[in-house]
């Protein structure tokens, strides 16, 4: 993908980068478009889009893309579905910087240093434990090329040439209390079933290739996460986690086993590290997760890693 290109990384450091769900800014269906017609965010993005060259602004239709704009929505550069050609994005970034230099002089804008910010998590995720979750297809045999985002048979153009080499997705899940992952004084226990079911509903999804709605509570047929202190040195506890899950809604499914390890400081009451890995077989397809031609069963992995600010 273009963001791993070193020159693009260097050039993009001159911009304040923002990511958003573009459907919320510019819906495609008339009902939702009418709902946001007076929304300042929609009007801002619409003004910018209407100043773009027609071939770079996809209208009508979805608006996913890479866009470079001034503080009042002025067009600097941009292109719909532009995540596959590093040379093209490099050229657009350079043009955007040149246009910005001319724009700021004509309008009296002032360059300001771009502040460094710490990595964080989405604002709708909360809890004392925040996990970054990644899903990934796994090889099905020697020489297997599973893990491609779009298979050779599914590809209809060159638009996906670069990022077809990758097949992973990311989400986040919060756990309200740290103690949910700490065994009792006997050194053994289980993660509360309500917490385990919440993790299953949000995290144990086949969203490797695209969107997949959360599981419903009735889809979670079985889940358990057991924990045991395997080493305790002056209050620093190494905790081992094992578990399993069986989830299905009749159309799609995921059955997996879990292994994890955490390092917990009982004096400070916090984890310095906590990681879980779920490995198993997924099957079926959701509407938007691009499994219509790859329904499985096939191996998939999900990792959960504690996010420490």
pLDDT tens profile 12-23: 888 988 888 888
CA separation for the pair 131, 117 (Å, rounded): 20
233-240 mean pLDDT: 92
In tens, the pLDDT along 184-199 reads: 988 999 999 999 999 9
Residue with the two structure tokens 């506890």:
237
**Whether pLDDT at 156 is above 60:** no
Report how far apart the first and last C-alpha atoms of the chain are (Å, whole number).
27
Render pLDDT for 206-227 as a digit per residue (tens, 0 to 9): 998 888 999 999 999 999 999 9
pTM value is 0.77
Higher pLDDT, 205 or 296: 205
Burial 199-222, CB ≥16 within 10 A → b, else e: bbbbbbbbbbbeebeebeeebbee
Give residue-wise pLDDT tens across range 61-114.
888 899 999 999 999 999 998 777 888 999 999 999 999 999 999 999 987 887
Burial 153-173 (b: 16+ CB within 10 A, else e): eeeeeeebebbbeebebebbb
CA distance 278 to 43: 43
Average pLDDT over residues 227-231: 95
Q: Report residue 29's pLDDT band, with 50, 70 and 90 as the boundaries.
A: confident
pLDDT at 144: 74
Q: Is 134 in contact with 169 (CB distance < 8 Å)?
A: yes
Q: How does strand 252-265 pair with strand 75-80?
A: unpaired
Q: What's the confidence (pLDDT) of residue 18? A: 86
* 193 or 118: which leads in pLDDT: 193
Place of tokens 């996809």: 58
pLDDT at 141: 80
Whether the predicted pLDDT of 145 surpasses 80:
no
* pLDDT value, residue 46: 93
């Amino acid at each position: 993908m273009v963001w791993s290109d070193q020159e693009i990384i260097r050039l993009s450091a001159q911009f304040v980068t923002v990511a958003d769900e573009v459907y919320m800014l510019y819906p495609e269906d008339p009902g939702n478009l009418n709902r946001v017609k007076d929304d300042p965010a929609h009007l801002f993005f619409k003004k910018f889009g209407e100043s773009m060259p027609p071939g770079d602004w996809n209208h009508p239709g979805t608006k996913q893309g890479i866009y470079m704009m001034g503080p009042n929505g002025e067009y600097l550069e941009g292109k719909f579905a532009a995540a596959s050609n590093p040379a093209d994005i490099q050229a657009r970034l350079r043009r955007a910087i040149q246009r910005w230099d001319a724009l700021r002089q004509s309008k009296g804008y002032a360059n300001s240093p771009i502040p460094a910010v710490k990595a964080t998590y989405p604002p709708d995720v909360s809890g004392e434990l925040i996990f970054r979750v990644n899903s990934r297809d796994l090889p099905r045999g020697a020489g297997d090329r599973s893990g491609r985002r779009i298979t050779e048979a599914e590809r209809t153009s060159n638009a996906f040439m670069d990022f077809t080499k990758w097949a992973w997705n990311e989400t986040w899940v919060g756990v309200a209390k740290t103690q949910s992952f700490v065994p009792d004084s006997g050194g053994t226990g289980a993660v509360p079933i309500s917490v385990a079911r919440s993790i299953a509903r949000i995290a144990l999804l086949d969203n490797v290739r695209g969107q997949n709605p959360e599981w419903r509570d009735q889809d979670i047929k079985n889940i358990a996460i057991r924990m045991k202190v395997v080493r305790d040195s002056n209050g620093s506890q190494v905790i081992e986690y094992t578990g399993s899950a069986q989830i299905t809604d009749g159309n799609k499914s995921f059955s997996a086993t879990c292994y994890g390890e955490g390092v917990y400081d009982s004096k400070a009451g916090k984890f310095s590290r906590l990681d879980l890995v779920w490995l198993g077989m997924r099957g079926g397809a959701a509407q938007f997760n691009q499994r219509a031609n790859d329904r499985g069963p096939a191996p998939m992995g999900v990792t959960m890693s504690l996010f420490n600010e």
